[in-house]
Amino acid sequence: MDWTTPGLGLRIGGHRGAAGEAPENTFAGFALAAAAGVDYVELDVRLAADGVAIVFHDDELDRTTDGSGPPEARSSTELLAIDAGGWFGPQFRGERIPTLDAVLAWLDERPGLGATIEAKGAGTGAVIAEAIRALGAGSTRDACSICSFSSDELRAAAAVEPSISRMLILDRDECGADVVAVGRAALATVVNVPVDWLDRPEVRRLHSAGLLVAGGTVDDPAGIAACLDLGIDLVDTNRPTITVAARNHLLEQISGSSGT
């Protein structure tokens, strides 16, 4: 997984693992995404009350676990005992909230599979950067990036380890902003914008500025076709079994037509 080179083609990431097909931010979801052939997985990190980095998206536990309240109010021991799969389907009962260290160890067993790790809470950017840096030189470290809506978290991550790729996620409220300027101010190397903001000239402009371009989240073949047409580098998906197959099929068609 390459987080540094624009124009290599469309790389697809499993959003929160495979949030449309398995409980999000669980090993079941990450494994499903990997089996579908994603290039990377996307996951979210918050800090438990004891400072342990845990993989969880929401401000509250209620939607995706049998717990309640903010995850930051619980110790990591408490959080890892909560069921994080049964809400999605009975076959996933017993899935747990992973720690960041456990996911990084899982990635280390899957060379070539990347990850972008979202800093969700205050102070998480630096913690994620420390965890990635601790991996040492090698394919797993190089295959990881940090993403956030927060410029402060990306700048904090850069202060810890500037070699780690950093993705700024632009909110829809920022429509009309100069993406290059905003990205540079955040010390970002990748910008993630809604795909409907983009056209080919804008993608070329961002590439010329040295930025990789991510197109938000896409869950259907038509959206994947649009991403390929625009020439963007990255897109997340909640349904990797559908979108990875669609990308591969479209690339085969393009290759076949160019060879005739």
Query: Contact at 8 Å (CB) between 88 and 19?
Result: no
Cβ atoms of 20 and 219 within 8 Å: the answer is: yes
Q: Is 207 a catalytic residue?
A: no
Sign of the torsion formed by the C-alpha atoms of 80, 85, 87 and 93: negative
Structure-token pair, residue 77: 């021991």
- Residue 166 to residue 151: CA distance in whole angstroms: 10
Structural element, H or E, at residue 64:
none
* Residue whose entry in the numeric block shows the structure tokens 């918050």: 46
Of the residues 57, 110, 155, 205, only one is catalytic, namely 57
CA distance 6 to 236: 16
Structure tokens at 115: 């990850």
Q: Mind spelling out the 3-state secondary structure of 3-30?
A: CCCCCCCCEEEEECCCCCCCCCCCHHHH
Q: Which H or E element spans position 47?
A: strand 40-47
Cβ atoms of residues 194 and 216 within 8 Å: yes
Q: Which of 11, 15, 141, 239 is catalytic?
A: 15
* Whole-number Å distance between alpha carbons of 103 and 118: 13
- Please give the distance of CA 255 from its chain centroid, rounded to a whole number: 28
CB 241 within 8 A of CB 6: no
Q: What residues are labeled active site? A: 15, 57
